[in-house]
Copies of this chain bind each other. A is one copy, B any other.
Amino acid sequence: FTQTGNASFYSNKFQGKKMANGQPYRKRKLTAAHNTLPFGTKVKVKNQENGRTVKVKITDRGPHSRNRILDLSLAAARRLDMVQSGVVPVTIKVIRRP
């Protein structure tokens, strides 16, 4: 499974709030929200603007917006150097099923 689209990241205000998998969001963990992949799926995300990559675990559902395929934790967004941009084009690839 590979997919191309835009990724955004979680606002800080979600820190500690419950995600769709029942766990609290932790901004320092490498996690992401995706709309269909099972919780626990490991995904490799590539920022198409700078080539940086990060591996994240799917722990939440979302986003709802057009062309948006992933909402990343703050830590993951930092790895991709996309915090200033806010939204960047990414490619995601499943590297481990749960």
Q: Are B20 and A64 in contact (CB under 8 A)?
A: no
CB-CB < 8 A to A66: which residues of B?
Answer: 11, 86
- Report the interface size class on chain A: 20 to 34
Interface of A is mostly: loop
CB-CB < 8 A to A60: which residues of B?
Answer: 64
A17 at the interface (CB under 8 A from B): yes
Interface residues of A (CB under 8 A from B): 8-11, 14, 17, 20, 33, 35, 60-68, 71, 86
Q: A9-B65, A10-B64, A11-B65 are in contact. List 9 more A-B contacts (CB 8 A).
A: A8-B64, A11-B64, A11-B68, A14-B35, A61-B61, A62-B62, A63-B65, A64-B71, A65-B71
